[in-house]
Structure 1
Amino acid sequence: MSSDLLIYALTASTALYLIALLRAISDQKLRAIPTVGGSSLPILYHYSIVRNISRIASISREGYNKYRGRLFKYAEPAGWRIIVTNPQHIEEIARASDDVLSLAESVNDMTQIVYTMGPEIHHHQWHNALIRGQLTRNINRFFPEMHDELVTAVSEEICVEDSSWKEVGVKDSFIKVVCRTSNRVFVGLPMCRNADYCDLNERFTMDVVKGALVLKLFPALLRPLIARFCTNVPTNIDEGIVHLGPAILERLGKHGELGDKWTDRPNDMLQWLIDNAPPHERSVRPLVLRILSVNFAAVHTTTTASQNRPISSPLADCSVWVRSWTLALQILTQIMYHLAAYVDPLRAEVEAVIQEEGWTKSAIDKMYKIDSFVREVLRMSTSSSSVNRKALKDFVLSDGTVIPAGSNVGAGSYLRHFDDAIYEDASVFNPWRFCLKRSEDQSGTKGLIVNLGPDFLPFGHGKHGCPGRFFAAVEMKAILAHVVVTYDVKMKEDGALPSSRWIFTALIPDQKAKVLFRRRQS
Structure 2
Amino acid sequence: MFEFSSTTWTLIGLFLAYLVKKYINAAFSPIHKIPTVGPSGVITSYWGGLKALKYAKDMIQEGYEKYYGRPFKIPMMSRWVVVVSGPQLIDDVRKASEDDLSFNEAMNEAISFSSFNPPVQVLQVKYILGPELHDDLYHVVAVRNPLTRNLPARFSELQDEIAAAFSEYVPATDDEWSSVPAYSTIVEVVCRATNRIFVGLPLCRDPEYRKLNINFTVDAFKAGVLLSQFPKIFRPIAARLFTNMHAKILHAMDLLGPMLEERFVRDEKFGLEDPERPSDLVSWMLDYAKPQYRTVRDFTMRILVLNFAAIHTTTAALTNALYDLAVHPEYIEPMREEILSVIASEGWTKVGINKLRKVDSFLRESQRLVSGALSVTRRAMKDFTFSDGTVVPKGSYVFAASRATHLDKVNYPNPHEFQGFRFSDMREDEGEEESSKHQTAYLGLDWVIFGGGKHPCPGRFFAVDELKAMLAYILLNYDVKLAEGEGPPEPMWFGANRIPNRKAHVLFRKRNLL
**TM-score for both structures, normalised by structure 2:** 0.89
Q: Does 1:276 align with 2:288?
A: yes
Match of 2:333 in 1: 344
Q: Work out whether residues 55 and 504 of structure 1, in 8 Å CA contact, stay in contact via their aligned partners in 2.
A: yes
Answer with 348-357 or 510-519: which moved more: 348-357
Q: Work out whether residues 26 and 42 of structure 2, in 8 Å CA contact, stay in contact via their aligned partners in 1.
A: no
Match of 1:314 in 2: none
Q: Pick the aligned partner of 1:354 from 343, 351, 359.
A: 343
The AA in structure 1 aligned to 2:291 is: P
Answer with 254-263 or 181-190: which moved more: 254-263
Match of 2:31 in 1: 30
| 1:446 counterpart SS class | helix
CA distance in 2, matches of 1:455, 1:215: 35
The AA in structure 2 aligned to 1:31 is: H
Q: Does 1:492 align with 2:476?
A: no
Deviation string 1:294-339 (CA, Å, 9 cap, x unpaired) is 2112212xxxxxxxxxxxxxxxxxxxxxxxxx2x111011011111
CA distance in 2, matches of 1:473, 1:30: 38
Q: Work out whether residues 437 and 446 of structure 1, in 8 Å CA contact, stay in contact via their aligned partners in 2.
A: no
CA distance in 2, matches of 1:55, 1:22: 28
Q: Work out whether residues 23 and 42 of structure 2, in 8 Å CA contact, stay in contact via their aligned partners in 1.
A: no
Q: Pick the aligned partner of 2:177 from 153, 165, 176.
A: 165
CA distance in 1, matches of 2:320, 2:484: 16
Q: Pick the aligned partner of 1:478 from 453, 457, 469.
A: 469
Q: Pick the aligned partner of 2:440 from 417, 433, 449.
A: 449
Match of 2:387 in 1: 398
Deviation string 1:63-114 (CA, Å, 9 cap, x unpaired) is 1222122121101134110111121110011110101101111122222111
CA distance in 2, matches of 1:396, 1:54: 31
Q: Work out whether residues 450 and 469 of structure 1, in 8 Å CA contact, stay in contact via their aligned partners in 2.
A: yes
The AA in structure 1 aligned to 2:323 is: Y
| 1:77 counterpart SS class | coil
Answer with 273-282 or 508-517: which moved more: 273-282
Q: Pick the aligned partner of 1:504 from 481, 491, 495.
A: 495
Please give the residue correspondences for 1:15-54 in structure 2 after superposition, counting only pairs within 5 Å.
23=25, 27=29, 29-37=30-38, 39-54=39-54
Q: 1:461 to 1:197 in 2, by over 3 A?
A: same
Q: 1:45 to 1:190 in 2, by over 3 A?
A: same
The AA in structure 2 aligned to 1:165 is: W
CA distance in 1, matches of 2:482, 2:213: 29
Please give the residue correspondences for 1:11-410 in structure 2 after superposition, counting only pairs within 5 Å.
23=25, 27=29, 29-37=30-38, 39-110=39-110, 111-300=123-312, 326=313, 328-340=314-326, 341=329, 342-410=331-399
| 1:488 counterpart SS class | strand
The AA in structure 2 aligned to 1:105 is: E
CA distance in 1, matches of 2:287, 2:26: 49
Q: 1:461 to 1:24 in 2, by over 3 A?
A: same
**Displacement, 1:24?**
7.1
CA distance in 2, matches of 1:294, 1:60: 29
CA distance in 2, matches of 1:139, 1:406: 38
Q: 1:188 to 1:504 in 2, by over 3 A?
A: same
CA distance in 2, matches of 1:24, 1:478: 49
Q: Work out whether residues 488 and 521 of structure 1, in 8 Å CA contact, stay in contact via their aligned partners in 2.
A: no
| 2:506 counterpart SS class | strand
**Displacement, 1:20?**
8.8
| 1:53 counterpart SS class | helix
Q: Work out whether residues 174 and 512 of structure 2, in 8 Å CA contact, stay in contact via their aligned partners in 1.
A: no
**Displacement, 1:58?**
1.0
CA distance in 1, matches of 2:108, 2:438: 32
**Displacement, 1:202?**
0.9
Q: 1:226 to 1:21 in 2, by over 3 A?
A: closer
**Displacement, 1:283?**
1.7
| 1:336 counterpart SS class | helix
CA distance in 2, matches of 1:22, 1:101: 25
**Displacement, 1:34?**
0.9
Runs of 5+ consecutive residues of structure 1 not aligned to the other structure? 1-14, 301-325
Deviation string 1:198-252 (CA, Å, 9 cap, x unpaired) is 1111122221122112222344344333322443222222222222211111121
The AA in structure 1 aligned to 2:167 is: S
CA distance in 2, matches of 1:291, 1:450: 23
Q: 1:296 to 1:338 in 2, by over 3 A?
A: same
CA distance in 1, matches of 2:75, 2:34: 12
**Displacement, 1:287?**
1.4
**Displacement, 1:135?**
0.3
The AA in structure 2 aligned to 1:130 is: A
Q: 1 or 2 for the larger relative contact order (CA 8 Å, sep ≥6)?
A: 2
Deviation string 1:366-402 (CA, Å, 9 cap, x unpaired) is 1111000000111111111111101010111111111
Q: Work out whether residues 73 and 83 of structure 1, in 8 Å CA contact, stay in contact via their aligned partners in 2.
A: yes
Q: 1:224 to 1:44 in 2, by over 3 A?
A: farther
| 1:108 counterpart SS class | helix
**Displacement, 1:21?**
12
**Displacement, 1:413?**
0.4
Q: Work out whether residues 106 and 378 of structure 2, in 8 Å CA contact, stay in contact via their aligned partners in 1.
A: yes
Answer with 259-268 or 348-357: which moved more: 259-268
**Displacement, 1:494?**
5.0
**Displacement, 1:169?**
0.8
| 1:138 counterpart SS class | helix
Q: 1:398 to 1:266 in 2, by over 3 A?
A: same
The AA in structure 1 aligned to 2:33 is: A
Q: Count the aligned residue pairs.
A: 479
| 1:516 counterpart SS class | strand
CA distance in 1, matches of 2:290, 2:428: 47
| 1:335 counterpart SS class | helix
CA distance in 1, matches of 2:49, 2:242: 21
Runs of 5+ consecutive residues of structure 2 not aligned to the other structure? 1-16, 111-122
The AA in structure 1 aligned to 2:381 is: L
Q: 1:218 to 1:481 in 2, by over 3 A?
A: same
Q: 1:21 to 1:232 in 2, by over 3 A?
A: closer
CA distance in 1, matches of 2:180, 2:34: 47
| 2:179 counterpart SS class | strand
**Displacement, 1:144?**
0.5
The AA in structure 2 aligned to 1:331 is: A
Q: Work out whether residues 274 and 287 of structure 1, in 8 Å CA contact, stay in contact via their aligned partners in 2.
A: no
CA distance in 2, matches of 1:124, 1:77: 30
The AA in structure 2 aligned to 1:51 is: K
| 1:423 counterpart SS class | coil
